[in-house]
Amino acid sequence: MFNFYKFVMKKFTLLMVAMFSMAFSANAQYNVDGHKFWDNWSLGLEGGISTNAHDWNSPKGAIAGITVTKGITPVVSFEFGFNVGINNNYSWEMAHSANVIDNVSAIASTKINLMNWFGGYKGTPRLFEIQARGGFGYMREFYPDFAGNPTSSGNDLNRAIAKFGFDFDFNLGKAKAWTLSVRPAVVMKMARETSPAFMGCVYVDRCNAYGHNVIGQLTAGITYHFKTSNGTHNFAAVKPQVVTETVEKIVEKPVEKIVEKVVEKQVAAPASNNIYVVEFEQNKSNLSNTAKATLDQISNGTTVILDAYASPEGAKAYNQKLSQKRADAVKGYLENKGVKVADAKAHGAESKSSQRVVYVRIK
């Protein structure tokens, strides 16, 4: 028999995974500062109401919780939340515990800032932003028996759950250190009890009739964003810097300022003190026509030394691998045209002024 709930759940989960993957790939190296491990952590409190999906206009209880969030880029962040259900007299199975707290849950979610994804990040959060979020977790529900006696541990339920929703955020203050949020969401349990013995049921169809696979939640919350290493409470935009400092470090003497060029013009960069500068697009290691034109200026039979770099966005290990790929690309191209490469070093991102370049020095 076709299970419509499982079909919808599967399609919705695949859609969210695809959206999260697109956001990650589009922001592997965002041009911002504040990527250290202790940067962009936030702590939040939330509270609100919940109800059955089949009875939206009649709230059935309260929920309260705490959230811890880590920003990865201005678009992508991870959130861990812990919630408690208070007097949830639906408790999915139309029963509630003898205690005030009817259930506890823990959910790990991925959040996507839709405003920054589609509109770009300007160096500070907007006054109003919308975030999509989705994740999976665990819930423990506390049940009584149907005779009204206090619940026993044998009647408690552990279940896997999925939670999807949106955050409507208002970022307040000059430093944008505080955020007020309205957070509608749906919570779905990943399995459904069908045992005839469950909660004293005699018939399977009656047990199924008591099961509610989806509940709705509406919460409001306040979040504090801890200060980052860049002196703000959020990611800070990195302004382009000239590469003179890095070139001087290589040749150990002053050199002329190298002016940034527009890649689309396909103009080869001139050599400065026998150093050729090969530039790359963000998060790329393939040689553009401009890069090839720069390398074509080097005569066959020349011996060169390569120093490859990445810009400071992204993780240290990722930048190291990316600079190695760039060094390999330049080395391969030069050797194919008869240029000897004596050494090729990958430096990753050495400083905030590090750029997406490979320096080719004539030995």
Q: For 65-110, what is each residue's pLDDT tens digit? A: 999 999 988 989 999 999 998 876 544 444 556 667 888 999 999 9
| C-alpha distances in Å from residue 155, one per residue of 81, 150, 166, 197 | 25, 10, 33, 11
Which segments of 191-350 are extended strands (E)? 214-225, 236-237, 275-279, 303-308, 340-346
Residue 243: count other Cβ atoms within 10 Å of its Cβ: 23
Upper half-sphere CA count for residue 235 (Cβ side, 13 Å): 27
- Among 74, 68, 69, which Cα is nearest to 33's? 74
Q: Which DSSP string do the residues of 153-190 spell out, in sequence order?
A: GGG-EEEEEEEEEEEEEEEESTT--EEEEEEEEEEEES
Domain 4-236 has CATH 2.40.160.20: yes
Pairwise pLDDT comparison (286 vs 141), residue with the higher score: 286
- Tokens 């812990």 label which residue? 82
- Fold agreement between 4-236 and 240-362: no
Q: DSSP assignment, residue 336?
A: H
| C-alpha distances in Å from residue 296, one per residue of 17, 281, 299, 334 | 44, 19, 7, 8
Domain boundaries along the sequence of the chain: 4-236, 240-362
Bridge partners of 346?
A: 308
Token pair of 220 as six digits: 């409001």
Please identify, in words, the CATH class of the domain defined by 240-362.
alpha beta
Between CA 190 and CA 213 the distance in angstroms is 8
Token pair of 98 as six digits: 């003898």
Q: Is 275 helix (H, G, I), strand (E, B) or coil?
A: strand
Exposure class string for 111-132: b at 16+ Cβ within 10 A, else e: bbbbbbbeeebebbbbeebebb
Entry pTM: 0.57
Token pair of 64 as six digits: 């309260």
Interval 291-337: pLDDT, tens: 999 999 998 889 999 999 998 887 888 899 999 999 999 999 999 99
Interval 106-131: pLDDT, tens: 999 999 999 988 888 888 899 999 99
User: Are residues 330 and 356 in contact, defined by beta-carbon separation less than 8 angstroms?
Assistant: no
